[in-house]
Amino acid sequence: MVSITLEDVGVTLGRRAVVRDVCATLEPGSLTAIVGPNGAGKSTLARAMLALVPATGRILVDGADAAAIPRADLARRIAYLPQGQLLHWPLTVERLVGLGRLPHLAPMSRISAADTAAIERAMMRADVFDLRDRIATELSGGERARVLFARALAVEAPALIADEPLASLDPGHQIDVMELLRAEAASGALVIAVLHDLTLAARYCDRLLLIDEGQIVADGAPAAVLTPARLRRVYGIDARVETGGAWPTITTLGRSDR
Amino acid sequence: MSHSLPRPLLIGALTALAVIAGLASLLFGAVDLSLDRLVAAASGDGDRIASIILFDLRLPRALLALAVGAMLGLAGAALQGYLRNPLAEPSVLGTSNAAALGAVAAIYFGLAQLHPAVLPGLAIGCALLSLGLLFLLAGDAESPLTLILAGLAVATLAGAGISLALNLSPNPFAAMEIMTWLLGSLENRSFDHVWIALPCIAIGTAMLLWNGRALDALTLGEDAAQALGADLKRTRRRLLLGTAIGVGGAVAVSGAIGFVGLIVPHLIRPLTDRSPSAILLPSAIGGAALLTLADLGVRIIPSTNELKLGVVTAFLGVPIFLIHLMRERRLW
């Protein structure tokens, strides 16, 4: 079980304050989406939680300062799926997913049967088991996204931060990934996803953090956060929010004149 | 599709090749010695000439070829992994050029005649100095591009120094001596050279072999690598220091031998699972075998002057670029 607490967190990149005054406590067993327009600071906030960028304020992972936790230790607690599909060498899918076991390997040891089992589980869950002998750089964008998602799952950490895990996925696989994130949370993991699809976020997430210009402008249950007035102010769109069904659906009608 | 060999088989085959190359290097040379005479000399009851040729000339030369080749191959593999660039090789950090500048200065100022250790000593000193400069220029930035640019600046500076020495050399013989050294060779090396190079190469090898996991993690980029537990600052420090010490020591005794660090990882990679860690040790062994074979070729290929090792390896480098080009143009 891992919890993350953010107290007055700020990140300045170059001279620009990209994240400002962020306060939130993220609990195990929950699926939280970070949503907001391009350039709002979503990814930077996610990176700050992993101590990948220098931040002011306090970022506590299980009560300890994230920057002071040894890298390998933090890596076993929080799995991270970065944005984009960076992949520098033509590894096979199985070898690539196996990179997720790096935090668990003792120095000079080889991959164990338990690691192999974790790699296979991750490939099965992300629906890439059949691709395991293919070269990852030769896959389609969507297949590659699923392989990289499997890589993050293979860490089997009690927390997962996924930055745009739905990018390049078809609608079917988008739902698969959201179901997986939901299942991870249901099994007690702390799951945070940076998302752009507000309807999927509203359908699957317990909580939304709506971010604009580096600050949290709304934090709460999807139905409470996603109001037409707020969407207009933050995204500059006119949207219809229907709350009558099992989950809120958001239909974008067009650009508003902000 | 991959044609990867099982790792023990790959390492075994490469080791056998290196051992055969090393033995062949003892058997062949300018003087034709029969196997009987060499075996007798090796067992201690041969004639004096055979034993001098074997122990004072061929053995140090074979050992240096193996060690220098291993260092260059390994440094190339480690740097390609770290910089995530298949065209990286030890010279991109400027270390080889800086070491060469140190050696050229020793020749230019006539210091090389004082003691056999002065030239390699200065070469290693300059390599370490260039590393300091590299850290200063590259700063804390973790991007490979910053490091390559800083390395280029250092290499260019050292190259300019070498050109200056050639330009100002007092007579054609001095210039010739510098040029000859720059072409790279293992001719007339003694055990003094082995004792200078070997400790540096041992330290360098140990520091570079240590980075396999961080290099694998870097396949996914810097953020993902750190989130997988890789300490990139330490990795970078180990890698640059290991390259400077090891390659500095190697260049100090062999002169500038290019392309081994580029070619070997390319030959090895298709035989592995292509992860950066998988090519480290095989590239070291393969580099040892390749340079020893090239050095053997230098002695066997008939020519009026003995061919220089750096010339032969440069010719070997051409096909690698061509293969890359053909793959890029999808001709192959």
User: pLDDT tier at B332 (50, 70, 90 boundaries)?
Assistant: low
How far, in Å, CA of B218 to CA of B143, rounded?
11
Q: What is the pLDDT of residue B31?
A: 80
How far, in Å, CA of B8 to CA of B271, rounded?
12
pLDDT at A233 over 70: yes
Q: What is the pLDDT of residue A71?
A: 93
Name the residue of chain B whose CA is nearest to A107's CA: B213
Q: What is the pLDDT of residue B29?
A: 81
B65 residue type, one letter: A
Distances (CA, A) of A181 to A25, A205, A209, B295: 19, 9, 17, 59
Q: Both tokens of residue A253?
A: 């009608």
User: pLDDT tier at B86 (50, 70, 90 boundaries)?
Assistant: confident
Q: What is the pLDDT of residue A258?
A: 56
Q: What is the pLDDT of residue B1?
A: 42
Residue B260 C-alpha, separation from nearest chain A C-alpha, in angstroms: 21
Q: Both tokens of residue A80?
A: 């991270």
User: pLDDT tier at B77 (50, 70, 90 boundaries)?
Assistant: very high
Query: Of B140, B9, B72, B37, which Cα lies nearest the Cα of B290?
Result: B72
Average pLDDT for residues A132-136, to the nearest whole number?
A: 95
Q: What's the mean per-residue pLDDT of chain A?
A: 94
Interface confidence: ipTM more than 0.90: yes
Name the residue of chain B whose CA is nearest to A52's CA: B223
Q: A121-133 pLDDT, tens per residue?
A: 999 999 999 999 9
Residue A137 C-alpha, separation from nearest chain B C-alpha, in angstroms: 11
Query: Of B67, B60, B310, B301, which Cα lies nearest the Cα of B180?
Result: B310
How far, in Å, CA of B113 to CA of B92, rounded?
30
Which residue bears the tokens 């300490």? B231
User: pLDDT tier at B68 (50, 70, 90 boundaries)?
Assistant: very high
Average pLDDT for residues A61-89, to the nearest whole number?
A: 94
B-chain residues within 8 Å CB-CB of A96? 219
Average pLDDT for residues B281-287, to the nearest whole number?
A: 97
- What 3-state class would DSSP assign to A24? strand
Q: Both tokens of residue A93?
A: 């899918």
Which residue bears the tokens 């600050």? A215
pLDDT at A246 over 90: no
Distances (CA, A) of B91 to B105, B208, B276: 19, 16, 19
Q: What is the pLDDT of residue B3?
A: 65
Average pLDDT for residues B169-174, to the nearest whole number?
A: 85
Average pLDDT for residues B10-30, to the nearest whole number?
A: 94
* A82 contacts B224? CB cut-off 8 A: yes
Q: Both tokens of residue B211?
A: 């980075």
Q: Both tokens of residue A90?
A: 């033509």
Distant-in-sequence, close-in-space partners of B180: CB < 8 Å, separation ≥ 6: B308
* Sequence-ordered alpha helix ranges (H) in A27-86: 42-49, 71-77
pLDDT at A232 over 90: yes
Q: B175-233 pLDDT, tens per residue?
A: 888 888 889 999 888 898 999 899 999 999 999 999 999 999 999 999 999 999 999 98
Nearest 10 degrees: Cα torsion B163, B164, B166, B168: 160
pLDDT at A214 over 50: yes
- Domains of chain A listed by start with CATH number: 4-255 (3.40.50.300)
A-chain residues within 8 Å CB-CB of B2? 92, 135
- Domains of chain B listed by start with CATH number: 15-328 (1.10.3470.10)
* A88 contacts B219? CB cut-off 8 A: yes
Strand A190-194 relative to strand A159-163, pairing: parallel
Q: What is the pLDDT of residue B24?
A: 94
